[in-house]
């Protein structure tokens, strides 16, 4: 058990009073009533008139968006603090249902009309009006989907029904998963605790036993429910894709990410060809350190025997992260400090809190950007990296929110990870330099190994997930649990090697059922884009020196207004070139694994051919 007093995160809590004073704050329902009135006015005033008055409509739409965000953000944050609170859950669901009805009824026309406007009409308004001119990227993005929109009646009905569609299956899935218990001799534990214990354990037999217990726990009802949820989502999407005229299951997601299908293809290809073999070397080296001939799947994220387990107090994590940001950009460091000082971070791990970590950045009414960071800080080195990661999202949100306003602040998912991974990288570099200076080679190697694990998990593993999804979505029919299990095994082995080469795959076949990202089809590959994209930028940082920071801050300020090509152009990088992905993998992962091998050799541990 961790000692709370050592961690010292318990006083770093959110102050949500700038949103609402409490759950029963009458202002919350008053805001929703106001939202309904304004939305209804918006409908009457602008429907059929966007060819004349796009400027006023965009301004009013932005105000609506910011007003509607506020109650949802407040209730979502309350829910993250206490997932068992039924009152919060009910209120959040009620609010989402009501907002879906209002937006479905009154706001659906906005995108449809913008998509249908003749190009000359848009050009004229862009030329004559500053607001329209500034929002051209938003207009362009909406028009990307022009050929895939359905009639207003159908789009309205789909929007109103949204809370009861596949999303509700997925929401309930999370609750079922939270109720799951894994049998352990000392008492049952949750799935989250089981994964945590498996990763933290330094005993291979114990790790294998935990994985066997997880395998057992997900059999039966959970596996059935997972199959049904996944198949409902896959089949509903196939039907909708057909109605909307998408030729390929990934096309819609790629458009949202502002990435061409070919670019996404090049990423998948480079990962399989370049990153997977580097990863296999990394795991073979890990096997050598663990004294194992092959790794069991439960050993994948295992720490090295000599890795440091001392708890990093939260105050020390704060110092490290601020110093790391400071070493790169005083502007960003100031923004990080601001997040600590204004009640925007909820740090401690406590019972009832949602698992994991996130950052939620939005604009409040008046174009006021705010960023809320959620953590379960337990004092591991991973937790320090997570703090740097989430605060990176925070500075990204604040910079883009100030520059672009609420409608264009959010970078597409594929680049939304840039600032966060960059923040992790500056922190990694900061810690690494410190260890090298102190000539602590063991600790440096342990840090490097965990960095390589992270890269493998965010690039190779996510692309494996994406390949798994491709097969599910292109099957063209419902699949049985057994069929899904085989696809899972096959797509994993395609990247991790045949059984017995590096890994044995006992108890792997059902693990797809625990991954809720599959409920947002093709969401996962964005992690790989984000990682390689950011590592390529980081390599440029080391080349460009002082010229880098202003270019990078502009990249963050762009929000959703630029695509990958435009974002990378100032850095002389081109994601259309397949060599871009290969170089990004080699300059980071490739170099780290070489360094791992060199440091290991010094310690007398060699990679066998």
Residues that bind Zn ion (CB under 5 A): 420
Shortest Å distance, C-beta 530 to Zn ion: 8
Shortest Å distance, C-beta 389 to Zn ion: 6
- Comparison of 420 and 563: residue with beta carbon closer to Zn ion: 420
Own/partner pairs, 96-99, CB within 8 angstroms, 24+ separation: 96/72, 96/163, 97/163, 98/32, 98/36, 99/32, 99/35, 99/68, 99/72
- Comparison of 454 and 469: residue with beta carbon closer to Zn ion: 454
CB atoms within 10 A of CB 174: 14
- Comparison of 444 and 555: residue with beta carbon closer to Zn ion: 555
- Per DSSP, what are the bridge partners of residue 190? 181
Is residue 154 within 8 A of residue 142, CB to CB? The reply is no
Shortest Å distance, C-beta 417 to Zn ion: 5
- Comparison of 113 and 390: residue with beta carbon closer to Zn ion: 390
Shortest Å distance, C-beta 586 to Zn ion: 23
Shortest Å distance, C-beta 420 to Zn ion: 4
- Comparison of 227 and 361: residue with beta carbon closer to Zn ion: 361
- Comparison of 117 and 421: residue with beta carbon closer to Zn ion: 421
| 369 CA to centre of own chain | 20
CB-based burial of residue 423 (10 Å sphere; 0-12 exposed, 13-18 middle, 19+ buried)?
buried
Shortest Å distance, C-beta 534 to Zn ion: 11
Shortest Å distance, C-beta 458 to Zn ion: 9
Shortest Å distance, C-beta 517 to Zn ion: 12
The span from the first CA to the last CA of the chain, in angstroms, equals: 41
The radius of gyration of the chain from alpha carbons, rounded to an integer in Å, stands at 24
Distance CA 25, CA 587 (A): 52
- Comparison of 12 and 420: residue with beta carbon closer to Zn ion: 420
Query: H-type helices in 380-524, by residue range?
Result: 381-404, 413-416, 418-437, 441-455, 461-474, 481-496
Shortest Å distance, C-beta 43 to Zn ion: 36
- Per DSSP, what are the bridge partners of residue 181? 190
Shortest Å distance, C-beta 167 to Zn ion: 21
- Comparison of 113 and 531: residue with beta carbon closer to Zn ion: 531
Which residue in the block uniquely carries the two structure tokens 């350190």? 289
Closest CA to 92 of 20, 192, 13, 173: 20
CB-side neighbour CA atoms (13 Å) of 383:
25
Shortest Å distance, C-beta 419 to Zn ion: 9
- Comparison of 64 and 259: residue with beta carbon closer to Zn ion: 259
- Comparison of 445 and 526: residue with beta carbon closer to Zn ion: 526
| 203 CA to centre of own chain | 31
Distance CA 410, CA 344 (A): 19
The answer to whether the Cα torsion of 548, 549, 552, 558 is positive or negative is: negative
Is residue 534 within 8 A of residue 418, CB to CB? The reply is yes
- Comparison of 231 and 385: residue with beta carbon closer to Zn ion: 385
Question: What is the DSSP-derived secondary structure letter of residue 354?
Answer: P
Is residue 371 within 8 A of residue 394, CB to CB? The reply is yes
- Comparison of 424 and 469: residue with beta carbon closer to Zn ion: 424
Residue nearest to Zn ion (CB): 420
Q: In the numeric block, which tokens belong to residue 212?
A: 């066997």
Sheet with 345-348: list strands edge to edge: 345-348, 368-377, 358-364
Is residue 413 within 8 A of residue 391, CB to CB? The reply is no
- Comparison of 62 and 420: residue with beta carbon closer to Zn ion: 420
Phi, psi for residue 450 in degrees, rounded to 5: -70, -30
Shortest Å distance, C-beta 393 to Zn ion: 6
Q: In the numeric block, which tokens belong to residue 236?
A: 């509903």
CB atoms within 10 A of CB 593: 25
Question: What is the DSSP-derived secondary structure letter of residue 294?
Answer: S
Shortest Å distance, C-beta 132 to Zn ion: 32
Shortest Å distance, C-beta 559 to Zn ion: 16
- Comparison of 71 and 401: residue with beta carbon closer to Zn ion: 401
- Comparison of 421 and 567: residue with beta carbon closer to Zn ion: 421
DSSP 222-289: HHHHHHHHHHHHHHHHHHHHHHHT-SSTTHHHHHHTT--HHHHHHHHHHIIIIIHHHHHHHHHHHHHH
> Which residues have CB under 8 Å from 511's CB, separation 6+?
214, 218, 297, 488
Shortest Å distance, C-beta 386 to Zn ion: 9
């Amino acid at each position: 058990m961790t000692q709370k007093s050592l961690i010292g995160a318990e006083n770093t809590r959110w102050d949500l009073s700038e949103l609402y004073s409490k759950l029963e704050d009458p202002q919350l329902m008053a805001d929703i009533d106001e939202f309904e009135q304004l939305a209804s006015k918006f409908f009457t005033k602008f429907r059929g008139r966007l060819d004349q008055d796009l400027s006023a409509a965009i301004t009013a739409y932005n105000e609506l968006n910011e007003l509607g965000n506020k109650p949802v953000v407040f209730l979502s944050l309350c829910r993250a603090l206490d997932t068992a609170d039924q009152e919060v859950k009910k209120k959040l669901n009620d609010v989402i249902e009501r907002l879906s009805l209002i937006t479905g009824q009154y706001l659906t026309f906005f995108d449809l009309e913008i998509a249908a406007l003749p190009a000359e009409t848009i050009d004229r308004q862009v030329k004559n009006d500053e607001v329209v001119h500034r929002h051209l990227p938003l207009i362009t993005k909406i028009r990307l989907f022009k050929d895939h929109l359905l009639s207003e009646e159908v789009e309205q009905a789909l929007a109103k029904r949204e809370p009861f569609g596949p999303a509700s299956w997925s929401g309930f899935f999370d609750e079922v998963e939270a109720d799951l218990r894994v049998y352990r001799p000392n008492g049952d534990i949750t799935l989250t605790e089981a994964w945590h214990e498996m990763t933290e354990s330094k005993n291979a037999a114990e790790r294998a036993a935990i994985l066997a217990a997880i395998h057992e726990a997900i059999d039966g009802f959970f596996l059935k429910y997972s199959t049904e949820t996944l198949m409902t989502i896959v089949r509903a999407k196939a039907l909708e894709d057909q109605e909307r005229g998408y030729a390929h299951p990934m096309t819609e997601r790629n458009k949202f990410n502002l990435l061409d299908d070919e670019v996404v293809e090049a990423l998948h290809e480079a990962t399989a060809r370049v990153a997977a073999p580097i990863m296999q070397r990394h795991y073979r080296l890990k096997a050598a350190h663990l004294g194992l001939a092959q790794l069991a799947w439960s050993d994948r994220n295992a720490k090295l025997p000599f890795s440091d387990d001392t708890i990093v107090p939260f105050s020390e994590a704060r110092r490290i992260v601020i110093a790391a940001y400071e070493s790169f950009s005083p502007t960003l460091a100031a923004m990080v400090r601001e997040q600590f000082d204004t009640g925007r971070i909820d740090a401690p791990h406590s019972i009832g809190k949602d698992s994991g970590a996130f950052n939620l950045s939005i604009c409040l009414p008046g174009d006021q950007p705010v960023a809320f960071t959620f953590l379960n800080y337990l004092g591991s080195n991973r937790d320090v990296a997570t703090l740097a990661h989430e605060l990176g999202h925070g500075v990204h949100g604040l910079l883009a929110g100030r520059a672009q306003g609420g409608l264009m602040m959010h970078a597409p998912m594929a680049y939304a990870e840039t600032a966060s991974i960059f923040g992790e990288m500056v922190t990694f570099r900061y810690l690494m330099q410190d260890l090298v200076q102190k000539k602590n080679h063991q600790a440096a190697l342990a840090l490097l190994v965990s960095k390589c694990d992270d890269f493998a998990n965010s690039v190779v593993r996510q692309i494996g997930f994406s390949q798994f999804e491709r097969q599910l979505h292109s099957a063209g029919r419902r699949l049985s649990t057994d069929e899904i299990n085989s696809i899972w095994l096959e797509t994993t082995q395609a990247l991790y090697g045949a059984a017995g080469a590096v890994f044995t795959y006992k108890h792997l076949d059902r693990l797809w059922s625990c991954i809720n990202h599959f409920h947002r089809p093709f969401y996962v590959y964005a992690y790989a884009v984000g990682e390689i994209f950011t590592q390529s930028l980081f390599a440029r940082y080391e080349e460009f020196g002082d010229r880098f920071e202003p270019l990078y801050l502009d990249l963050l300020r762009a929000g959703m207004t630029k695509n990958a090509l435009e974002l990378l152009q100032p850095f002389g990088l081109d994601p259309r070139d397949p060599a871009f992905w290969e170089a990004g993998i080699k300059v980071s992962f490739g170099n780290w694994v070489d360094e791992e091998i060199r440091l290991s050799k010094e310690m007398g541990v060699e990679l066998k051919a």
